[in-house]
Amino acid sequence: MLTVYILFFASLFLAAWSLQDIEGSTDRFRLRLPQTIGALATFFGFFFVGWVRFAPLDFAINVIPDMFEDSVFGLLRWVLNMLGDAQAAQFLSWITSLASLPGWLLLVVIPSAQLLLRILLLSIGFFSFLYVIWSAIALIMRPTPFVKTVNILFTCIGFIQAALLIYLLPTIDSWGSAGTMWRSFSALLLGVQMGSGVWITLFGLLLSAVGNFADVISQSQAKSNGTYDNEDSSYSSFYTSN
Amino acid sequence: MVSLLTSLPYLLILCYLVLIIWAAVGHRSDTMAWLGLWNGLVLLIALFVLPWITTGGRDTFDARTDDLSLHPLFSELLEKVPLENVWNETPILYAVITCNAEDTDKCLDKIPDGAIRRYATLTRNDTNIESFRLIGQATGAGSGLRITIVVLLIWSLFYFFWMIAKVVGMHANYFPEGMRWALAGVGVLLVPLVLWYLPIVDTLGYRDIFGISTVAFLAGARVGPGIGWAFIGLLIGLVVLLISDDSSSANI
């Protein structure tokens, strides 16, 4: 919950900062920062942070302690005693990190019937590369109509992906198992939960879309004010001329 | 009633689109007020009419308990694990898989945890559960959901009446200027809360209480459209609040 709050308000602050007085902005860094952070967050959240976490140990501890008392937990306790406190915590965090799937691995385990979720995961994976590459290219490119078109395109795609992701949150949280009894039951026993990777990706998508949108607005304002020429002026001279 | 609930989202989307286009083309404070009024109505529909949790009802609950109790995996499990040792920790699972389907009512009565027992009874008896009925369900660690629903409900009522007053041009008489910013502030705080509860409302906002998750599984509980529409209403409501201009709307 705290992660969601921090991400939400950090995104909100960055978006507001980016959009504030955008007409007269001379700060390239300020204009491109939300888009760059958003692109990196989408990439990082999708490929490296868990979208789905498994907690079978919780199930075992809560449900069938007697069965595990002498076998698995006995072994685990022995290992932890051998490692000592500091290393035991590291060992447990390592086990926990193994029991989670990032977004791209979720593609493998969700049932084929969840076609919309598969399409969304594929598109986020594909576009997260493009967002990162574009965030670097857009910094050095002149504000041509091509740049504006790509920004508009990425804004629309980002918002659509974010809306679809919000719509599919319950499906991700249930491991794509809604409606199927034995898959739901396996999700229950495995203690399937949604990981923080989903939130990082979602706020990354929104931030990236808002960043692209801010760039479109700044270009439109500059064009309507006649402060740059498509053919002659450079990106930096456009900003410094303001 | 079912066909009405099925077609309602499409009607809501259609009206939203018409009003948003009208507000964008007209770009006047009265068109924004009508959009806000419609949005307030959608929020109230999402809170009072649309289900936040849908379940398979009695048939699904009984069929699933029956399937589980007949499965060989659990027969073996029950032979190995003494029932009395685990009854207090996971009563619901052991209660249902050791009962026949026709005795489920009696078995549910034996569950010692009040929250789990109430939720099991509710999900077994009703297929659609609205938000205001969840207020009495989520207790203890899940009281965050209860608080969120109550705050959202109060926020929606204020927002709705404010928009009515704005449409008829009386809002300046009844609502102080600072109220718009207060509503916007509370709305901004509500957005991440509603977003957080959106995927886990079917387990009453609990993430790791096995008994509640088991009840949700047995009843085939899923997140209903109500919370999704409440989230959309909240977002559009915030936008309307932030961009509506009070000074010009007083002239409607």
Judging contacts by C-beta atoms under 8 Å, the chain B residues touching residue A63 are 86, 89-90, 93, 210
pLDDT score at B213: 83
> Is residue A164 scored above 80 in pLDDT?
yes
Question: Residue B152's pLDDT band (boundaries 50, 70, 90)?
Answer: very high
Higher pLDDT among residues B17 and A49, named by residue = A49
pLDDT score at A231: 43
pLDDT score at A242: 43
Q: Is A191 on the interface with B (CB under 8 A)?
A: yes
Burial class (CB in 10 A: 0-12, 13-18, 19+), B98: middle
pTM above 0.95, yes or no: no
Q: Is A167 on the interface with B (CB under 8 A)?
A: yes
Judging contacts by C-beta atoms under 8 Å, the chain A residues touching residue B81 are 64, 66-67
Q: What is the mean pLDDT of chain A?
A: 75
Question: Residue A150's pLDDT band (boundaries 50, 70, 90)?
Answer: confident
Q: What average pLDDT score do residues A144-163 get? A: 86
pLDDT score at A230: 47
> Is residue A124 scored above 60 in pLDDT?
yes
**Which residues, listed in sequence order, are joined to residue A102 by a DSSP beta bridge?**
A50
Could you tell me which residues come within 8 angstroms of residue A50 by beta carbon, excluding any fewer than 6 positions away? A97, A100, A101, A102, A195, A196, A197
Judging contacts by C-beta atoms under 8 Å, the chain A residues touching residue B144 are 1
3-state secondary structure of A201: helix
Burial class (CB in 10 A: 0-12, 13-18, 19+), A34: buried
Interface mutation target, options A7, A159, A185, chain B, most CBs of B under 10 Å: A185
Q: Is the reported ipTM for this assembly greater than 0.90?
A: no
- Give me the percent of chain B exceeding a pLDDT of 90: 7
Question: Residue A48's pLDDT band (boundaries 50, 70, 90)?
Answer: confident
Q: What number of CA atoms fall less than 13 Å from residue A78's CA on the CB side? A: 7
- Give me the percent of chain A exceeding a pLDDT of 90: 6
**Residue among A1, A63, A194 whose CB faces B210 most closely:** A63
> Is residue A195 scored above 60 in pLDDT?
yes
Q: Which residue of B has its CA nearest to A59?
A: B210
pLDDT score at B157: 93
Contact (CB, 8 A) for B239 and B77? no
Q: Which residue of B has its CA nearest to A66?
A: B81
